[in-house]
Amino acid sequence: MNVRPGHISTMVVGFALVVLALAVLALLPHFVPGFSPPPWLAGLVAVGAWLALIGIHEMAQSGLRERRSLRSCLEAVAHGQAVPPTLVQHFDKQKGELADMARLIGEIADKRVIAGAKPDQRLAAVLRALHDGVVVVTETGLISLINGPAKAMLGGERAAVGGSIFASVDRESLVAATARAQRTGGKPIEAGLALLDGTVHSVQVLDFGEHRGAVITIPSEELHATGEVELALDLHDAPPVAASPVDDTLLAELPVLVLDTETTGLDAARDSIVSVGAVRCHGTRIYRSTVLDLLVDPGRRIPARAIAVHGIDDAMVTGKPSIAQVFPDILAMMAGTVMVGHNIGFDLALLHNAAVRTGQAWVPPPRLDILLLAAALNPDETALELDHQAARLGINISGRHTALGDALVTAEIWVRLVPQLERQGIKTLGAARAFSRQARQQMERHREMGWDEDSQMGGNAR
């Protein structure tokens, strides 16, 4: 039986309540002449005392959950983030001082977001007045700005900020155009942009310079459409150059690669990778422009039970590169970072075993496991799966059971765990790694599965 300190204090209080109730019952005959309690009354009093204790305990736990939710709101504001909508909705239904504080925090966060968005709103007003279509993309093809005419050309819902322009545009035609634009020294070029529907549009392409990407202008004779401007120009921001992390590196300055894989099964020693997703973080900031989103041919049939989870079938990976071919890209993203993930040991074991099978160089990277950190931070919490952690932190889940989708959700959890760790005095990589080892039950399971760090050290590194 694993009894935690919090449970011990609850048991002591419960025992004291029962003893007190039974003592009162025993003394009643001395103060009430003729009173003789029936034998079953003592048991009933004891049960009632325990039930009262359970009620008090549940009220305390409910209050603890409310305080944790309020703390998540404060942490979001402190790090320049919007308060998660699910937390706002939760407190909207509540009454009392905590709910009032949560609503006030939400109002402050909204005002900060509105104030920060004013320059973008002015830019959007200018772009709405243009007849030409304008779309800005990052060097990886993410749409960071698009106005109404451009959205109409590229297919409405398929063309949205944060999405890939390659959902609408032929990759080769755009890559060729942007490569030409990079060689002109800041002058726009004329190009034919081929869409996936087979049509070709005459456009102008301008290199975005140090911001890495391109500005595509669709002349007015091509399109006549209006509509709102969508933009998120911070997608062009790149993570800062940082020294390779050591134990003394502060979590607030930690270069991180949040990684997730989809596989043919759950046996890291025998199964193969079919998809890899990753996103870079630095401290508590997520850099959504710096991502990895790969489909991989596992060289074997994908079992139906695996397809039912992630939806990747044999046809989708046919013709895709093998793990040996994409390994250099993965290692390049990993370089100089700490690997973070939910059960990250499983993903690293898969990569380690793939490296051994294909003769790739492999040095076990530093890691932090979201599951272990959450278990150590909340030892009384048993629901530690990705969905449960996201729900507690008010994170909206999208793209679940895709490698990149899960990596992005995990990144959102990570940036919210950092201030929680710092509040516990855990401010460096070394301290966080030591703290995660307090989740002994989960650590033991990882050891049994061969996912722990010791299982991947020595013997196979080249």
Return the CATH number at 163: 3.30.450.20
Question: Looking at the structure, do residues 418 and 443 belong to the same domain, yes or no?
Answer: yes
Specify the 3-state DSSP secondary structure of 386. helix
In a domain, 119, yes or no: no
Number of domains in the chain: 3
Predicted pLDDT of residue 462: 36
- Give the Cα-Cα-Cα angle 152, 157, 163 (nearest 5 degrees): 105
Name the residue among 150, 153, 159 with its Cα closest to residue 217.
150
For residue 462, is it within any domain? Answer: no
Residue 340's alpha-carbon distances to 100, 377, 426, in angstroms, are: 35, 16, 16
Say if residue 165 is in the same domain as residue 267: no
Q: Is residue 271 located within the same domain as residue 363? A: yes
The two three-digit tokens of residue 155, written as one number: 């297919």
- With beta carbons less than 8 A apart as the criterion, state whether 264 and 298 touch: yes
Which CATH number goes with the domain that contains 399? 3.30.420.10
Is 196 among the domain residues? Answer: yes
Are the C-beta atoms of 155 and 165 separated by less than 8 Å?
no
Q: Are residues 386 and 442 in the same domain?
A: yes
Q: Do 285 and 327 have their domain in common?
A: yes
User: Same structural domain for residues 314 and 448?
Assistant: yes
> In the chain, which residues have pLDDT < 70?
1-99, 102-103, 105-122, 124, 127-129, 220-227, 396-401, 454-462
Residues 298 and 176 in one domain: no
Range of the domain at 280: 251-456
Does 364 lie in the same domain as 323? yes
Tell me the two tokens of residue 107. 């109002």
Tell me whether residue 241 is in a domain: no
Beta bridge partners of 200: 194
Domain stop point among 52, 82, 110: 110
Give the per-residue pLDDT at 129: 65
CA distances from 397 to 95, 387, 410 (A): 27, 8, 10
Residue 399 pLDDT: 56
Question: What are 198's two structure tokens?
Answer: 């087979």
Domain edge (last residue) among 55, 75, 110: 110
* CA-angle at 390, arms to 373 and 400, nearest 5°: 115
Q: Give the Å distances, CA to CA, from 100 to 88, 103, 105, 381.
A: 11, 5, 9, 27
pLDDT on residue 163: 83
Whether residue 162 lies inside any domain: the answer is: yes
Whether residues 158 and 93 share a domain: the answer is no
**Could you give phi then psi for residue 145, rounded to 5 degrees?**
-155, 140
Q: Is residue 461 part of a domain?
A: no
Token code pair at residue 251: 């979590």
CA distance 409 to 124: 29
The answer on 165 and 17 residing in a single domain is no
Do 176 and 84 lie in one domain? The reply is: no
Same domain for 180 and 261, yes or no, is: no
Question: Does some domain include residue 382?
Answer: yes
- Is position 403 within any domain? yes
Question: In the prediction, which pLDDT does 330 show?
Answer: 95
